[in-house]
Amino acid sequence: MLITVEGLRPDYLSCYGKGRGKPTPGIDRLAAEARRFEQVITPSVSTLPSLATLFTGKTSFEHQVWDDEYRNRLGEKELTLAEQLKAKGYRTGAFLGSSRAAAGRGFEQGFEIYQDGYVRPSSGTWHLTLRSSSTVMGGARSWLEGVGESPYFLWLHFSDPIVPGQATAGSPAKDLEKTYVDRLAILDVQIGALFEILKQRKDYESLTIALTADHGFGLGEHGESRAGVFLYEPTLRIPLILRAPGANQAKGSRVSELAGSIDLYPTLARLMDIPAVPGLSGRDLLGQAPAAPRSFYASALFGRETFGWAGGEALAQGKWRLILGPKTELYDVAVDPGETKDLSSSHPGEVSRLRDALRQLNRGETIPRAHFQVGPAPATAAVTRITEMGMSPPTLANAQARALPDPAKFRDSLLLLEEMALRWEVLGNAAFSKVRESLLKADPQARLTLLGLAAIDIPEGEEGVKKAKDLLKTVQQLYPLESEVYHQLGHLAFPEKRFSDAIFFLQLSLDLRALYPGEVVYDLACAYARKGDKAEALKQLREAVRLGFRDAKFIGSDPDLESLRGDPGYKKLMEEDFDAPPKP
């Protein structure tokens, strides 16, 4: 059984010492029968890269999952722990409290049942849904009853601790720590109830259980109120509690040696007697400890992909934490656990040594550029047309020329920006309607803010169109290869009846690998319909449906498609094409 918890910090679990919050007797009960690893480093402060490493034992350089953007999927070629156990005859079930790893993103590989509770919107886009631990446990409990005495692998993924507290539409939630502690207490009750169920089973004594986190969670330290931007201990360090049967059990023991969640896969592979993929960086945590100190790599790319800030990398080795970004930081967490004294200038030799260790660990590879810096670059004719319109040339050189800002500049605004990003994942652009001025004041160049506000403004009449033009002019100069910029510019052309421009912008958005191509292709169909090209409009509409845009009620009432209503091809599409499965 693998239990993963989003944003779970070890220092808020009473089994890890005094604990900063309420007692956690449910998790303590597991710890009493298990090893407790006290210094474990996550490979990423975003969820999906961490889960990809847990299930494959590979680094992001190998599995290529770098952040939580919807573009990121675990590839079909990756062999997961679930696939290996299923091939060995195990029943496999996954029950998730978050749609971040919803089916279709690759993590369902190897599971006979994958219950994420996610219903994909008819627009073909993605949004974040969170389910309570009690809901997750309801499905898991029923599945366990049906497993009987068969060997099984059960993955439970909980998200309770990351759910923000009460707030208003115009301000973020307060009482971060109290909310975190209260949510964790609710989760702990469910975990305690789970162990009571497990103890009634005949196979309990032979059951291996691992409990860990995807990453930690910021509660105001260094300005961070969630996770994904910085690489300090509150988000970098995670718990790992491992109950292994028989001689491997070591009840209630503590392991102080530095380890990484990258070690869990080879450890479980050995316990489950399955062949681990050769050449992995991790090691069996129950084997002989290495003589030399080990190094662990981590990345932080959420701030870059979401807001347009610089990303970061970190190396943990022994007591040292090296953080690389717009500036270099070095901390000795043995004497400075709060990472308040940067030693990089006074210990240049240590910085150089750890940099070399990082390069060696990553085999000379570097993190990929941001999605808005890699294109593919448009054709020369498109670049010329954009330039003649008075906009920034959408070239690789232009997109990569600007140095991304240091996220440390925005520490005082992170509480607002990080929570609004979460609300945007849940609610879409509507989340920004009451916080316009606050967001623009916090960071007037933030990618998510500019695009989200422009999308809200465009339907709001003449004044809204004027505001959207100003926002899109700014965001296009800053991010000339961002596909969503051209999607919004396509929308902007509709009120002014510039349908040829709309078609150009929307096609450019697709050429730049639009995040949700079905949505863009649907808009392209509308532009062709408004221009009077029915044949091309139907062709694009059919493609949009194939790509997952299946909101029949919206399509049937959209005035932009009015010219198609009586066409036999339109009627056939609405009657037949919706029955075909969407393209993944």
In DSSP notation, 100-165 reads: GG-TTSSTTTT-SEEE------TTS-----B--HHHHHHHHHHHHHHHTTS-EEEEEEE-GGG---
Peptide bond into 376 cis (omega under 30): yes
Residue, of 98 and 169, whose pLDDT is higher: 98
**Residue 580: pLDDT band with limits 50, 70, 90:** low
Rounded CA-CA distance 52/363 in Å is 19
Per residue in 32-58, pLDDT (tens digit) is: 999 999 999 999 999 999 999 999 999
Query: 180: closest CA among 5, 306, 410?
Result: 5
Tokens of 395: 């070239």
Q: Tokens standing for 214? A: 């995807």
Q: Is 3.40.720.10 the CATH number for 2-292?
A: yes
- Burial of 307 by CB count in 10 Å (0-12 exposed, 13-18 middle, 19+ buried)? buried
Cα(48)–Cα(105) distance, integer angstroms: 9
In the predicted model, is pLDDT for residue 487 greater than 60?
yes
Q: What's the average model confidence in pLDDT over 234-249? A: 89
pLDDT at 71: 77
| Residue 577: band (very low, low, confident or very high) from pLDDT cuts 50, 70, 90 | low
Alpha-carbon distance 181 to 297, whole Å? 29
* Number of neighbours of residue 121 by Cβ within 10 angstroms: 16
Q: Compute the average pLDDT of residues 251-280.
A: 92
User: Given phi > 0 = left and psi -120 to 50 = alpha, else beta, which region is 273?
Assistant: left
CA–CA separation, 215 and 38 (whole Å): 14
Domain spans, the chain: 2-292, 374-579
CATH class of 374-579: mainly alpha
| Structure tokens belonging to residue 434 | 């009451």
| Residues 147, 207 contacting (CB under 8 angstroms) | no
The dihedral over CA atoms of 479, 482, 488, 492, expressed in degrees to the nearest 10, equals 50
Q: What mean pLDDT comes out for the span 72-96?
A: 96
Q: How high does pLDDT run on average in the chain? A: 93
pTM for this one? 0.95
Judged against a pLDDT cut of 90, whether residue 479 lies above it is answered with: yes
pLDDT of 584 > 60? The answer is no
Give residue-wise pLDDT tens across range 332-376: 999 999 999 999 999 999 999 999 999 999 988 999 999 999 989
Q: Is the pLDDT of residue 579 over 70?
A: no
Query: How confident is the model at residue 190, as a pLDDT?
Result: 96
pLDDT at 19 exceeding the cut of 60: yes
The mean pLDDT of 400-417, rounded to a whole number, is: 95
Residue 174: its pLDDT value, please? 81
| Residue 582 binned pLDDT confidence (cut-offs 50, 70, 90) | low
Instruction: Report the DSSP beta bridge partners of residue 92.
Output: 153
pLDDT tens sequence across 209-229: 999 999 999 999 999 999 999
